[in-house]
Amino acid sequence: MKRLLIFLLLVAGQFAVAGPGREALDRFSQGLVTLEARFEQVVLNTENARQGLFHGVLLLKRPGRFRWDYVMPEQRHIIADGHDLWIVEDDLNHVTKVYQKIALKGSPAKILLAQEPVDTEFNVVDLGDRQGLQWLELSPKDAESDVLRILVAFKGDELCKLELIDRLGQISRFTFFEVERNPVLDDSLFAYQAPPDWDLLNR
């Protein structure tokens, strides 16, 4: 009887993440090929004081490609081409190139790209409905991840909010608006070639 009880508890744990948040993630992922959205990012320090405010555009093309274009207060670009991740700093004429699989491990981008089930890299807790949004909490299974916790919120099949807490206690809060599902996005948007006279750092 004791073994049976343990087995039932383990089985129940496998289905514990089912709920409004997980269902919203499934609706968001279902049939999603491309995505375009504007975003606002607020960065808070360990004392919850605002350290920065940024605006930009997110473009996503499954599988494996995206770009975050920061337009204010300065231009920055983070481009994933499916193999490498490029961090482009226009004002410094500087580019950092990182192997994408390593760079994105345990990051929120893995949720959006959906190349594998979210449970593969994250422990998932369904937080249910809050203020008309469906929330999920995810924590990376990789003990060496720089990310401590991710909160993501949906409304129907629309991505609305994302909050990232790193291991230093810094918080980044994203709010998405003007979200368009499956717009036509050319492949060239997700390709990058560093100018020959720029500083290129390979990591």
| Count of domains forming the chain | 1
> Is 193 within a domain?
no
Distances from the Cα of 6 to the Cα of 3, 16, 30, 88, 168, angstroms = 5, 15, 34, 51, 37
> Per-residue confidence at 18, pLDDT binned at 50, 70, 90?
low
User: Does 89 map to a domain?
Assistant: yes
Q: What is the CATH number of the domain that holds 47?
A: 2.50.20.10
Answer left, alpha or beta for residue 172, where phi above 0 means left and psi between -120 and 50 means alpha: beta
Q: Which domain holds residue 46?
A: 18-188
Is residue 198, in this structure, part of any structural domain at all?
no
Strand partners, 166: 147
pLDDT tens-digit readout, 54-73: 999 999 999 899 999 999 88
Q: Domain for residue 11, yes or no? A: no
CB burial readout 20-34, b (16+ within 10 A) else e = bbbebbeebbeebeb
Q: Is residue 7 part of a domain?
A: no
Q: Contact 106/145 with Cβ under 8 angstroms?
A: yes
Condensed to tens digits (0 to 9), the pLDDT of residues 159-197 reads 999 999 988 889 999 999 999 999 999 999 999 998 999
Does residue 101 fall inside a structural domain? Answer: yes
The verdict on residue 5 lying in a domain is: no
Asked if residue 199 belongs to a domain, the reply is: no
Q: pTM for the complete prediction?
A: 0.83
How confident is the model over 96-137, as pLDDT tens digits? 999 998 888 878 888 888 767 788 888 999 999 988 999 999
